[in-house]
Chains A and B, each alone.
Chain A
Amino acid sequence: MITARYHREIPQRYRLEAGKCLACGHLSFPPRLVCPECKAKKFETVTLSDEGTLVTFTVVRVASDKFSKETPFPVGIVELNGGVRVTAQIADANIDELKIGQKLRIVFRRIQDDGKAGILCYGYKAIMA
């Protein structure tokens, strides 16, 4: 059962909420208790941009059992406008068209589930803009 664990990540997975360091302005996604840049401990919540570019990518062809029925699926590191990078699946993509530097947009999709009768787990994926 991953219920509680899933629930606490909702602000990040659904809305891309990050922590902005009040001292140096560094954006942490997900939010942290200590700023990795200046070590300050006070933050405000900000929402990240839903647009970005593809930094690097792969196509997962051999996945864990949980994702094995969805292969092949592309996964990339996406740099969102503002500089924060996230790892995300690239949905609905024509694999042959993917290239580094590609403009992307974040969408809300089902990511996985906790088995046939367990909860459904949603979150962000990227699509070609």
Chain B
Amino acid sequence: MVGIVGYGAYLPRYRIKAETIARQWGTDPEAITRGLQLYEKTVPGQDEDTITISVSAARYALRRAQIDPQEIGAVYIGSESHPYAVKPSGTILIDALGIGPNVHVASYEFACKAGSEAMYVAYSHVKAGEMKYALGIGADTSQGAPGDALEYSASAGGAAFIMGSERVVAEILFTHSYTSDTPDFWRREGESYPRHGGRFTGDPAYFKHIMGAATALLEKSKMSPEDFKYAVFHMPNGKFPNEVGKRLGFKKEQLEAGWIVPWMGNTYSGSSPTGLAAILDVAKPGDLIFMVSFGSGAGSDGFIYRVTDEITKVQDRAPKLREMLDNQKTYLNYGEYAKFRRKIKLND
């Protein structure tokens, strides 16, 4: 049995309300809150980045897995906000957590699905018998240009998953990936903010790839939506994941536990992984979980997990995602937000 042996999520404590951003740009807040179902989002502290978020999430994953960090053979961090263009984020993480130096490390980038890709590769290493444990992380301090629709959603957070074959808490039963050249959203080298194709990001991109991966996964597994207790999809806003779930035949109750986007925002590479962490926080032995990520460019990774008896032992060993989401909040005004996100032109 190969799957998740420990998981952890981390969200910064700072928040900004969609309403605050809307007021700044003279936009009707209702269009965002009701239209996109986005109420507030996480904002990283001035001293937080993809690496510190990954370290916090991975520390919680280690606390749940209770393994020797030295036995982790690979660390992959998926993000589109790696602090360095050249120098893997994982190099810093392993030294912070006492992993390595005998370890594979790389930074992954595939828009919002870099995290699920990191999880897939970590899982594959263990399944191939190459190593005992591998760590896959999705984390971001997401970029969205000031005044752009993305500004309402681009948030910060991440989740870490240790894959292994002993004391598995969620077995990975099936996986599938679906990819094509679809220029729906991109950021060129050296640019501060991504660009996107507006409504082109919907049907030809998000829906097509998630549906593609999900359909193949259901065929492969010979399962149907009603077999699952929970489902989680990439969450660029509140609306899309519910809509894609509906199109696939999932019910609202199956999506609710992982649907954290209205109060968290889109943590990009951390989006569906943090959703999965929120589900694992409440899952019971035997539950089946359906997960499909989406990364612009574009592609989707699908996973089917079966929760084991081990889950109840680990859930309380580290903070739960909903606790971090609902408590410990510090709200920022737009000026503070602009300062925190380094959007103010300084004389340096």
Complex A–B touching at CB under 8 A: yes
Q: Mark A residues whose CB is within 8 Å of B.
A: 10, 14-15, 69-70, 89, 91-92, 94, 107-111, 116, 120, 122, 125
Contacting pair A109 B330 (CB below 8 A): no
- Are A108 and B52 also in contact (CB < 8 A) when A91-B47, A120-B84 are? yes
**A112 to B: closest C-beta gap in Å:** 9
Contacting pair B47 A109 (CB below 8 A): yes
Contacting pair A91 B45 (CB below 8 A): yes
Could you say which residues of chain A place their CB within 8 Å of the CB of B68? none
Q: For B96, give its contact among A89, A94, A122 (CB under 8 Å).
A: A122
Chain A residue nearest in CB terms to B49: A110
B339 at interface, CB cutoff 8 A:
yes
**B221 to A: closest C-beta gap in Å:** 39
Could you say which residues of chain B place their CB within 8 Å of the CB of A107? 52, 56
Within 8 A of A (CB), among B59-95: 59, 83-84, 92, 95
Contacts A69-B46, A108-B96, A122-B51 known; 8 new A-B pairs at CB < 8 A: A10-B95, A14-B92, A15-B95, A69-B346, A92-B330, A110-B52, A111-B47, A122-B52
Could you say which residues of chain A place their CB within 8 Å of the CB of B46? 69-70
Contacting pair B52 A109 (CB below 8 A): yes
Q: For A116, give its contact among B12, B84, B348 (CB under 8 Å).
A: B348
Could you say which residues of chain A place their CB within 8 Å of the CB of B330? 92, 94
Could you say which residues of chain A place their CB within 8 Å of the CB of B98? 15
Could you say which residues of chain A place their CB within 8 Å of the CB of B95? 10, 14-15
Contacting pair B96 A15 (CB below 8 A): yes
15 CB < 8 A contacts A-B: A10-B95, A15-B95, A89-B47, A91-B45, A92-B45, A108-B56, A108-B96, A109-B48, A110-B48, A110-B51, A110-B52, A120-B83, A122-B51, A122-B52, A122-B92
C-alpha gap A107/B60 in the complex (Å) = 12
**B319 to A: closest C-beta gap in Å:** 11
Q: Mark B residues whose CB is within 8 Å of A.
A: 12-14, 45-49, 51-52, 55-56, 59, 83-84, 92, 95-96, 98, 330, 339, 346, 348
**A8 to B: closest C-beta gap in Å:** 12
**Most chain B beta-carbon contacts within 10 A, residue among A108, A110, A116:** A108
**B75 to A: closest C-beta gap in Å:** 15
**A92 to B: closest C-beta gap in Å:** 5
C-alpha gap A107/B45 in the complex (Å) = 13
C-alpha gap A94/B330 in the complex (Å) = 9
Could you say which residues of chain A place their CB within 8 Å of the CB of B84? 120
Could you say which residues of chain B place their CB within 8 Å of the CB of A69? 46, 339, 346
C-alpha gap A111/B92 in the complex (Å) = 14
**B137 to A: closest C-beta gap in Å:** 14
- Are A110 and B96 also in contact (CB < 8 A) when A92-B330, A116-B348, A120-B84 are? no
Chain A residue nearest in CB terms to B54: A108
**Most chain A beta-carbon contacts within 10 A, residue among B47, B339, B346:** B47
**B9 to A: closest C-beta gap in Å:** 15
Chain A residue nearest in CB terms to B46: A70
**A110 to B: closest C-beta gap in Å:** 5
Chain B residue nearest in CB terms to A127: B13
C-alpha gap A69/B339 in the complex (Å) = 8
**B249 to A: closest C-beta gap in Å:** 42
**B179 to A: closest C-beta gap in Å:** 32
Chain A residue nearest in CB terms to B348: A116
Chain B residue nearest in CB terms to A128: B328
Q: For A108, give its contact among B45, B55, B346 (CB under 8 Å).
A: B55
Chain A residue nearest in CB terms to B346: A69
**B104 to A: closest C-beta gap in Å:** 20
C-alpha gap A61/B294 in the complex (Å) = 44
Could you say which residues of chain A place their CB within 8 Å of the CB of B45? 91-92, 109
Could you say which residues of chain A place their CB within 8 Å of the CB of B52? 107-110, 122
Could you say which residues of chain B place their CB within 8 Å of the CB of A120? 49, 51, 83-84
**A97 to B: closest C-beta gap in Å:** 11
**B15 to A: closest C-beta gap in Å:** 12
**A116 to B: closest C-beta gap in Å:** 7
Could you say which residues of chain B place their CB within 8 Å of the CB of A116? 348
**A49 to B: closest C-beta gap in Å:** 14
